[in-house]
A = this chain, B = another copy of it.
């Protein structure tokens, strides 16, 4: 990789950072990515071309999407790409060598967080003028870096494409935050022909240059929005005429937290947000709960989910309020394939900047890439998820988040090495 590409990587990352877009609103981001990839010569799929709408979770209403499209265009998105997206974000680039060989897919998530970036000169993005221009959106998890890595890799592959066989798919996934976006790509069938699936995450409190090949302990999780609709009434003169959605929700909350722990391992539930009622003296006609369940594996998460649904439904019946449960996100557990883990360890040794390699680590969080990993494995392919250490200025999701950009080049090199091995001309 030449010097110029490194500069380009940083430029890409900072551009995405500056125009941060949260899940399902990455119109400018997708447009820019599509522009680069298309220019490089990749076949490009955008928005509805690579997203199965019926499998989309946690997307906002069309009116709100419309506003984000307008903003994206005002911030430089090319309306040509926007049109092709048809309301949905994300890009897939395909490099088909037409030579017999495996299909290898890589996933880069591209969305920002619901966060307000700090305005302080000690914060490099602010000081160096690439802090987010979009209120309430900030790349505080490093997906700006992931997107940049994907583009850098696209450059490299094209340069060396004569050495490759088979097919390469670069998946730029929207809406990883809230584990919302992967499912719609999986359901579109884009992973069904994949032999090797590579993915990863930068940061996570790991030293810069340290590579971990096999994180384990991905928590299964389900995200839900629950709406209760009751009936308002004057709280003083006709309390019996209301169907109290706020009281129903409060009762549900207590019972949800009281779901018994499971003997087989950790389980979690959280009602993170509760919004109910319209006025102090009105029996509350509506309530919204945003909640999530987790479990060490599918069985444990399903145990929590089933118990939660039972509580939500029967509390609604108890209070004569109607209910709606919307699944807003989902991630599963996963295990990286040893063949690829071994390969990562071997190839990482040849990457400049890699200072330490570790085989395993407990992950303990949730990631919707697990849905892709699982689909590839279910279809007979192999998957790996690599932790790419880099110093971070603050915890992920924090308003002070920033990272050491040296990891960008390391990551591109590592992924390139892996593909060169997997899709190499014999």
Contacts and interface: CB of A to CB of B under 8 A. Distances in A.
Interface in A44-73: none
Nearest to A243: B260
Contacts of A366: 236
Contact of A260 (B178, B223, B240, B303): B240
A163 interface: no
Given A257-B260, A258-B258, A223 B315 contact: no
Interface string A263-276: 11011101111111
A369 to B, nearest CB: 16
Contacts of A263: 237-241
Contact of A261 (B266, B271, B320): B266
Contacts of A260: 239-240, 242, 244, 257, 283
Contacts of A268: 235-236, 239, 261
Given A254-B258, A260-B239, A280 B276 contact: no
A114 interface: yes
A247 interface: yes
Interface in A314-365: 314-315, 317-318, 320, 328, 364-365
The DSSP consensus for interface residues of chain A is: mixed
A38 interface: no
30 contacts: A219-B236, A223-B280, A235-B268, A235-B292, A236-B268, A236-B364, A238-B263, A239-B262, A240-B263, A241-B263, A246-B253, A246-B271, A247-B257, A247-B258, A250-B253, A251-B251, A251-B254, A251-B255, A254-B254, A254-B255, A261-B267, A266-B266, A270-B283, A272-B277, A272-B278, A273-B280, A274-B287, A275-B276, A315-B318, A317-B317
A107 to B, nearest CB: 21
A25 to B, nearest CB: 17
A383 to B, nearest CB: 22
A168 to B, nearest CB: 34
Interface of A: 114, 178, 219, 221, 223, 235-242, 244, 246-247, 249-251, 253-255, 257-258, 260-264, 266-268, 270-284, 287, 290-292, 294, 303, 310-311, 314-315, 317-318, 320, 328, 364-366
B292 A280 contact: yes
A277 B271 contact: yes
Given A237-B365, A247-B257, A268-B261, A280 B274 contact: no
Contact of A236 (B221, B250, B258, B318): B221
B281 A270 contact: yes
Contact of A280 (B254, B266, B272): B272
A218 B273 CA distance: 37
Contacts of A270: 235-236, 239, 280-283
A84 B1 CA distance: 71
